[in-house]
Amino acid sequence: MLESNSSLTVATTTAAGAVAAGYYYAKKKKNTRCPPVVPYTIPWLGSAITLGKDPDAFFHDAREKYGDIFTVQAAGTRSTYVTSAAAISSIYRNSKSFVFTPTRLDVSVKMFDMPRSIVYDNDYMTETMFPMHHRILAPSNVTPMVDALIKHTVGVVKESHSQIIANQWSTTLEEFAHKPVFRAISATMFGPRFPAEKTYDPFLVFDDYVPFFAAGAPALFVQKGVRARKHLIDLFEEYLGTPGWDDGAAEIITAIVNGARNESQPPWTDRELATAVNSDFWAANGNMSWGFFWCMNLMLHEPQGLAPLYEEVDAARDSWLKAHRSADLSGDNLTELGEFLDNASLPLIMSTVSESLRVSSSSFSIRTVVEDGVTINGYPQFEFSKGDVLVCQTRSVHLDQEIYGPDAAAFKPDRFLDSGIVTEDGSRKPFLAFGGGVSQCEGRHFAAKGCKFIVALFLLNFDIKLDPAHEAPSSGSALFDITRIGTGILHPTKPTHILVSKRK
């Protein structure tokens, strides 16, 4: 870990405000209809220490005392947090007044070092590139990407198979599952020639620094992160200049590159493009590879381990083979394997994916107010002005006991089986791992399907269990580094040691 936990939280908390306009608060006219400020004694530092110690407890207690919407002073920044499903949903529904685009542009510069000229000097990003993302990642268009992911996951699974020479392979879940899936996702996006292996270490370092970049931390504190980011951008620049790089790359990447090279005025340089594709690389890998990782990890820590999932996937495979006697599910015939995965009934695996994302995600869904005198439906006591920034703290909703019951913080793999996710009035319980509204995560269709298929492929091929020789944390929440708030799927506190063998 690069920093102490509390300084990481301070950074991520600061990020919420700094990402767009915490500074706006300071110069704002006196508005008596502002949300309450969580009291603090030390000027500037504010609530940073309490927040840093245990963000989940901080947001829970603050909500109990000050209501669904409140403002927090932390390390020189003031951010207004929205913590209830009702308020967040009202914000999502009013997409005319509460918008995401300013944040998306701001992080392009702060986190990904995209030059301001390509982000702000014309409207190519907002008018062409963002809609392109939306179209290509739509459910009806995402099939080729899912197919490529199956292909590359089969590739990494076969490699791991060949690594198991003795009966059992003693390794970590990070090495066995996270890294190969990172490579599979990378190859899916950039094609099989992409040097994914070379990007893994710099990516991990860069990802660790993302909260600090988002917070606009001074250069002195982020030197290592800047070097890692530069390393990644260098690699992408070199790769995009290699003839034939786009052979087997996903449309989401080829369309960005070809569009910005040929349609943007002026055309983007390869360096500029490299910064842009690095942002897509992070959006996909930063969340999806960890999402998959948590499915496996949290199940491994359940009393029965992966057994219920093996049972489900084995039953699905057996019934498929009964109906398709000559089907080859070994991975040698990708069409047949793809058909099986697409049609297999795997409700518990799907529930496990959703539940893993529910408990392991800590995302800020940030919206900027674009007109004066705006209120949140249901909260007329507060009025917001143009430039105000609201941070929808989606984790608070996932941990809300009134929605998910007294065991809201616990990982329950079957929670998302049909009846478990319906509220008393028949509506679906809020699930905000992908944010919400018109700016909900565009990669969610690919990510949700992809995680389901990757889990199934790993289960079909490997017996995995926790290594009893290593002490393992006993419950889900102890596994997460909850201090990395606001930037997506949480990271583990320490490596998970496992024993792997080939499935018979």
Q: How far is the CB of 105 from ligand HEM (least distance, A)?
A: 10
d(CA 57, CA 53): 9
| Residue burial 223-239, b: 16+ Cβ < 10 Å; e: rest | eebbebbebbbebbbeb
| 441 has binding-site annotation | yes
Give the residue with the Cβ less far from ligand HEM, 63 or 395.
Answer: 395
For the bound state, the minimum distance from the C-beta of residue 178 to ligand HEM, rounded and expressed in Å, comes to: 13
Q: How far is the CB of 467 from ligand HEM (least distance, A)?
A: 26
Q: Which is nearer to ligand HEM, 56 or 328 (CB)?
A: 56
Q: Which is closer to ligand HEM, CB of 185 or CB of 460?
A: 185
Instruction: Tell me the closest approach of the beta carbon of residue 189 to ligand HEM, in angstroms.
Output: 7
For 243-308, the DSSP string reads TTTTTT--HHHHHHHHHHHHTSSSPPPHHHHHHHHHHHHHHHHHHHHHHHHHHHHHHHTSTTTTHH
Task: Take residue 263 and report the two structure tokens written for it.
Answer: 């349609």
Which CB atom, from 379 or from 446, has the smaller least distance to ligand HEM?
446
**Distance from first CA to last CA of the chain, Å, rounded?**
38
Residue 59 contacts by C-beta under 8 Å, 6 or more apart in sequence? 81, 83, 393, 395, 396
CB of 181 to ligand HEM, least distance (A): 11
Q: Give the number of other Cβ atoms within 10 Å of residue 423's Cβ.
A: 12
Q: Are 78 and 26 in contact (CB under 8 A)?
A: yes
In angstroms, give the least distance from the CB of 437 to ligand HEM: 6
Measured over the CA atoms of residue 496, residue 281, residue 357 and residue 487, the dihedral's sign is: positive
Which tokens is 75 given? 């390390």
Nearer to ligand HEM, 66 or 98 (CB): 98
Q: How many CB atoms lie within 10 A of CB 329?
A: 18
- The owner of tokens 């408990």 is 359
AA identity, residue 295: C
Question: Using an 8 Å Cβ cutoff, are 395 and 485 in contact?
Answer: yes
Give the binding site for ligand HEM (CB under 6 A).
Answer: 100, 104, 133, 137, 283-284, 287-288, 291, 357, 361, 363, 365, 433-436, 439-443, 446-447, 488-489
Shorter beta-carbon distance to ligand HEM: residue 35 or 488:
488
Closest distance of CB 373 from ligand HEM, Å: 24
Identify which of residues 38 and 489 has a Cβ nearer to ligand HEM in the complex. 489
- Reading phi first (left if > 0) and then psi (alpha if -120 to 50, else beta), residue 172 is in beta
Q: C-beta of 489: minimal distance to ligand HEM in Å?
A: 6
- CB closer to ligand HEM out of 320 and 434: 434
Buried b vs exposed e over 99-136: b needs ≥16 C-beta within 10 Å?
bbebbbbbbbbbbbbbbeebbeeeebbeebbbebbeeb
Known binding residues for heme: 441
Known binding residues: 441
